[in-house]
Amino acid sequence: MSLVSAPMTGHDHYRVVMARARDKRRQRAVDAQAPTVVVCRGGDCGSRAKHPGVDHVGLLRETRELVAGAAQVVPSRCLDACEHSNVVVVVPAAAAPEGEPVWVGDVNDSDVNAALCEYVRAGGPGVADLPIELELRRATRRNREELDAERSAPGA
Ligand code: FES
């Protein structure tokens, strides 16, 4: 048996290129069916100072494990909803155009995170019903200007 591999022929190269193109088409088809889980890891979300005792790294790892094959997980910078940290946004799959992004706050323990991942695995926005424990944590997004205006309003 020879340890030297034969040089790649033009036909071999063609087969490799076609296989890669096929894999990309399959991945795009999967992505269109899959929600995206945006996990904020900005200033307050993921902060040990703000949330001592929360295993932020472990929660992100759990999220990746629990939704593997069903969604993509994207860490993000601050989403301007820091008062609800840790914030996760479930963006609907392209295949569920009637779905709206779902913002969930206080995702600070494994139980809430598991409920969120179960919702994502069930299809997420536009497909699955939001469980009550997540409905109660829905975060409304107000940007910093709105928060500042609210704080400086008379009587605030
Ligand atoms: S740090 Fe997460 S919303 Fe600001």
Q: In the structure, which protein residues have their CB atom closer than 6 angstroms to any atom of ligand 1? A: 40, 42-45, 78-82, 85, 87
How far does the centroid of ligand 1 lie from the alpha carbon of residue 43, in Å?
A: 6
pLDDT digits (tens, 9 = 90+) for 47-101: 999 999 999 999 999 999 999 999 999 999 999 889 999 999 999 998 888 889 9
Q: Hey, what are 84's tokens? A: 């609800």
45 Cβ neighbours under 8 A, 6+ residues apart: 39, 56, 78, 79, 82, 85, 86, 87
Q: Hey, what are 133's tokens? A: 């424990």
- Structurally, at CATH architecture level, domain 35-152 sits in 3-Layer(aba) Sandwich (3.40)
Instruction: Choose between 109 and 4: higher pLDDT.
Output: 109
Helix, strand, or coil (residue 67): coil
d(CA 62, CA 56): 10
How far does the centroid of ligand 1 lie from the alpha carbon of residue 7, in Å?
A: 52
d(CA 130, CA 122): 10
Domain boundaries, the chain: 35-152
User: What pLDDT, on a 0 to 100 scale, did the predictor assign at position 54?
Assistant: 95
- pLDDT above 80: residue 4: no
**Residue among 44, 77, 146 whose CB has most ligand 1 atoms within 8 A, to mutate:** 44
Question: What predicted TM-score, i.e. pTM, was given to this entire model?
Answer: 0.74
How far does the centroid of ligand 1 lie from the alpha carbon of residue 44, in Å?
A: 5
| Residue 42 Cα: closest atom of ligand 1 | 1
The sign one gets for the Cα dihedral 108, 89, 96, 28 is negative
How far does the centroid of ligand 1 lie from the alpha carbon of residue 84, in Å?
A: 8
How far does the centroid of ligand 1 lie from the alpha carbon of residue 33, in Å?
A: 27
92 near 104, Cβ under 8 Å?
Answer: no
User: What pLDDT, on a 0 to 100 scale, did the predictor assign at position 35?
Assistant: 94
